[in-house]
Amino acid sequence: MLNAGEGAHTLGHMDPRVEAAIAANHGVISRAQALDLGVGPSAVRALLRDRVWVVVRRGVYTTRSIWEAFDEYVARPLLIARAATLNIQRGWVLSHDSACHLLGLPVLALTDPLVHITRPGWTNAWTRDGVGRHLARFGAAQVIEKDGLRALNHARTGVDMARTHGVRSGLVVCDAVLRTGGRRADLEAAAAIMENWPGRTHVATCIELADPGAETALESVTRELVIEAVGRRPETQFPVRTDRGIVWCDMVVGNHAVEADGRVKLRHRDRGGVADDAENAAWEAKLRERAIRDRGLVVSPVVWADHWNERRVATVERVRRAQAEADRVYGRETNPELLREAEEIRRVHGDRKTA
């Protein structure tokens, strides 16, 4: 016969107080909390052995069902960050990548991701046990609380990401900050104290180039690639009137439209995409591209894989050649007729998000 205080946990008859504690902690429970609730050491070992529980960090657990339901890009890293905060002092707050996960800001995947926390102090940073600890100045107004966790706010997180991870990662986050209602002045205010901090030049670049018209991380990195390729800033969400109706180009430089094409456009809705029929979606994309070309624009499609390793070098060159062709055939400046039409469309319909 099983002892109700020990082995019963492994049969799925979890003490409801334990389940309530896991729910209250947004999916995690510490060993100390489990012991306080009567889950003895041998029961903890049995739960882990039978994979009812999963180790999130040393001494902190979640249930296997929660872990397997969470994605590896946002939900699991945030759960790991939550686990790390169970045993730290109150002065620490989530920052950098971990703050992005909490605030819903996009993060470019890293090969060796860390939990990032910051507390007030003279600028310093070190890593231990998978946690990046930062000492840096910040004000109480820059701290927000969400789902039981405290983190640096959107603008401060944007500039921290630029300073720590470089222009590409920083631009992805700073674009998102503006896209979700932040102002460039907020980014500038957050960066004001960083005059002599490492990575400050990356921050200045991201603040200057940030654009709320980049609707996704893919559009952000594509915009950065275009700037590198042609040395000019593209105009985002450019509307073009075609024989198929109004088409919103992701970005336009002169008479060159660059389209950031994600697979989500061809993925069925049942699998997280936006398409009801992949074949029809692919055909519609072809017709859309032809309609844009018919208005006197050279079109360059760019996909996610084009941004990395050898493919990036080839893509930069391809976009550069396309820009040269557009400038040669149609002129360096955007067709005045297209500009007039775009202004009229925006005046009537607003930007792409409201059209």
Q: What CATH number is given to the structural domain containing 307?
A: 3.40.960
Domain count, the chain: 3
Same domain (yes/no): 53, 149: no
Exposure string of 228-238, with b = 16+ CB inside 10 Å and e = fewer, is ebbeeebbbbb
Q: In what order do the strands lie in the sheet with 298-302?
A: 235-242, 245-253, 256-260, 298-302
Same domain (yes/no): 338, 255: yes
**pTM of this prediction?**
0.88
Question: What per-residue confidence (pLDDT) applies to 275?
Answer: 59
354 domain-assigned: no
Same domain (yes/no): 94, 185: yes
Q: Say which residue, 19 or 9, is predicted with more confidence.
A: 19
pLDDT band at 81 (very low <50, low <70, confident <90, very high): very high
Same domain (yes/no): 249, 202: no
Degrees to nearest 5, angle at CA 50 with 45 and 52? 90
Same domain (yes/no): 172, 201: yes
In percent, the amount of the chain with pLDDT more than 90 equals 79
Domain coverage including residue 171: 75-209
Q: Where are the alpha helices (DSSP H) in 256-303?
A: 278-294
Residue pair 203/210 in contact by the 8 Å Cβ criterion? no
355 domain-assigned: no
Q: Which of 297, 284, 281 is nearest to 329 (CA)?
A: 297
Which tokens is 180 given? 């979700």
310 domain-assigned: yes
Task: Work out the mean pLDDT of the chain and round it to a whole number.
Answer: 91
Same domain (yes/no): 185, 232: no
Quickly count: other Cβ atoms within 10 Å of residue 54's Cβ: 16
Residue 159 neighbours by CB under 8 Å, 6+ apart: 170, 174, 187, 190, 191, 194, 203, 206, 207
pLDDT band at 179 (very low <50, low <70, confident <90, very high): very high
Degrees to nearest 5, angle at CA 163 with 133 and 207? 140
Beta pairing partners, 150: 145
Same domain (yes/no): 147, 249: no
Name the one residue in this structure whose structure tokens are 């470019």.
108
pLDDT digits (tens, 9 = 90+) for 198-229: 999 999 999 999 999 999 999 999 999 999 99
Query: Residue 243 has what DSSP assignment?
Result: B
pLDDT digits (tens, 9 = 90+) for 331-350: 999 999 999 999 999 999 88
Same domain (yes/no): 117, 144: yes
Same domain (yes/no): 201, 296: no
Same domain (yes/no): 261, 317: yes
User: What interhelical angle do 200-209 and 184-191 show, nearest 10?
Assistant: 170
pLDDT band at 266 (very low <50, low <70, confident <90, very high): low
Question: What per-residue confidence (pLDDT) applies to 281?
Answer: 74
Quote the CA–CA distance of 207 and 314 in Å, as a whole number: 28
Residue 286 neighbours by CB under 8 Å, 6+ apart: none
pLDDT band at 267 (very low <50, low <70, confident <90, very high): low
2 domain-assigned: no
* Residue that terminates a domain, selected from 34, 50, 69: 69
294 domain-assigned: yes
